[in-house]
Amino acid sequence: MVWGTPEYIRAMHVVGTLPLRLLAADYGADITYGEEIIDHKFVKCERRVNEHIGSTDFIEKGTENVVFRTCNEERNRVVFQIGTSDAVRALTAAQMVCKDVAAIDINMGCPKSFSISGGMGAALLTKPELIHDILTTLKRNLDTPVTCKIRLLKSSQDTVELARRIEKTGVSALAVHGRRVADRPRDPAKWSEIADVVAALSIPVIANGDIFEYDDFQCIKDATGASSVMVARGALWNASIFSPEGKVSQEDSILWDNDIKSTKHTLKEMIMHYSSLELPEGKAVIKSESLADLA
């Protein structure tokens, strides 16, 4: 995989499941990231080929719980995203799935409390030695490309310094979300600080933050000089954001044949963006317990 080539990338914690990834790809996303999966959970899984629907499933042992699902159609463009705080455990998880995906990504940007309390996600930003250990361990033992995603640090200089250390580990690309850990989604992404990282590195940098319309792709590329653009909420609200022909209606972009938790989360986000959860359709989604209820 040449990481300087893909322009449009879709990534989202929790809802990056197979149906949404395939939908985003159909509309034009070059690369799609799976939902962040914690290494503790994944190492307890077993790989099964699901001939009924043509997928490769990683099932939690002793259950029928699908932790990660992929298929041959996305083999060359899906990135497996790991939440980890341990190099050996991350490698074990990566080795289980690396033949089924295009790349392995370490999430170092998630600000959620469950990630930070476990030493994962954005908690890694303050542990450069651990970052180095995780990434170099993966690079030494995998033929599959390795990438990671970070957030901005306290100052642009700090972010650039960390990015340079990450580059030295040999990763194929670095994604930078233009907000700090304490920032909220309503706070504007700091594209200028992503540009500082781009200017300092020789590897591809993927810019992320405040991409809500198709025209925003070129805007952030022009502003940052990044080789690629990553979309999260914009793709969650309407996966057709990747289409140069313009977005389709909200109803036409809704996905089915998905697990109930992910589908509910997606629909709630879409409804909150376009209207309100206090409306009848919002209350119905909140109360739903199965895909049949949502239909």
Question: Annotated binding residue at 265?
Answer: no
pTM comes to 0.83
- pLDDT digits over 86-108, tens only? 999 999 999 999 999 999 999 99
In percent, the amount of the chain with pLDDT more than 90 equals 72
User: 181, 246, 207, 254: which is closest to 23 by C-alpha?
Assistant: 254
Q: Which of 182, 164, 161, 168 lies closest to 133 in space, CA to CA?
A: 168
Average pLDDT over residues 107-122: 93
Helix%, strand%, coil% for the chain, nearest 5: 45, 20, 35
- In this predicted structure, the answer to whether residue 293 has a pLDDT above a threshold of 50 is yes
- Burial class of residue 203 in the structure, from the number of CB atoms within 10 Å of its CB (0-12 exposed, 13-18 middle, 19+ buried): middle
> Which strand (E) or helix (H) includes residue 33?
strand 31-33
Tell me the average pLDDT across 242-258.
Answer: 68
CB 57 within 8 A of CB 66: yes
Residue 247 pLDDT grade (very low, low, confident, very high; cuts 50, 70, 90)? confident
* Angle (nearest 5°) at CA 207 between 266 and 134: 85
Residue-level pLDDT at 2:
45
Structure tokens at 8: 């449009």
Q: Is residue 268 annotated as involved in ligand binding? A: no
pLDDT given at position 5:
53
- For residue 113, pLDDT beyond 60: yes
Over the stretch 189-230, which tens digit does the pLDDT of each residue have? 999 999 999 999 999 999 999 999 999 999 999 999 999 999
Question: Does the annotation flag 226 for ligand binding?
Answer: no
Q: How many CA atoms lie within 13 A of 43 on its CB side?
A: 14
pLDDT tens figures, 137-159? 999 999 999 999 999 999 999 99
**pLDDT band, very low/low/confident/very high, at 183 (cuts 50, 70, 90):** very high
Question: Residue 140 annotated as binding?
Answer: no
Element (H, E) at 210: none
Catalytic residues: 110
Q: Which residue has the higher pLDDT, 154 or 239?
A: 154
The mean pLDDT of the chain is: 87
Residues 15/265, Cβ–Cβ less than 8 Å: yes
DSSP code at position 98:
G
Annotated binding-site residue? 264: no
Identify the bridge partners of residue 148 per DSSP, sorted by sequence position: 106, 174
